Structure 1
Amino acid sequence: MSTEILERPDVRDSSTDQGPEVFHYVKKNKIAESAVMGTMVEALCGEVFPVTKSAKPGSPVCEPCKEVYAQLKK
């Protein structure tokens, strides 16, 4: 089981989401499957979504995901 985590987007429809797009931490081994097959992934914060975009350096990251990731690193 891999513990590597990559940032992935919150893909909620921007017309219904009031806040800016943020990227979530997701288990690395689930990203390719989601991108190819369209399966849903679960972020560390519990958000569930299909992977449709990749984060660029400096992209905003979900605060709850950051907190969970910090606890995993200890």
Structure 2
Amino acid sequence: MTTTLPETDTNPETTEQTSDDRPEVFHYVQKDKIAESAVMGSHVVALCGEVFPVTKSAKPGSPVCPECKEIFEGLPPGGDDE
């Protein structure tokens, strides 16, 4: 059986603002939802389940959500099989 996963951006492009003392982290989201969220203000769902609108892009070396990173690293390469 072949499972097809949605294309997920390999660079975190979105973040959520934290209202407490936790450091801001960037999340992995479906690549095709980033522009829509940034323009329309719609919310995206990160691999970890966090829901938020895109507010800024990650810079190289930005902190990544540990839960998103663990899930992403467990996905099969390429996102789908032939």
Structure of greater Rg: 2
**Match of 2:80?**
none
Q: TM-score, normalised by structure 1?
A: 0.86
Number of equivalent positions:
71
Matches within 5 A, 1:9-48: 9-12=15-18, 16-48=19-51
Over the residues paired in the alignment, what is the CA RMSD in angstroms? 1.6
**Which 5+ residue runs of structure 2 have no aligned equivalent?**
78-82
Q: Which amino acid aligns with 1:11?
A: Q
Matches within 5 A, 1:29-68: 29-68=32-71
**Which 5+ residue runs of structure 1 have no aligned equivalent?**
none
Matched residues, percent identical? Answer: 61
| Greater share of strand | 1
Runs of 4+ in 1 over 4 A off after TM superposition: none
| Greater share of helix | 1
Q: TM-score, normalised by structure 2?
A: 0.78
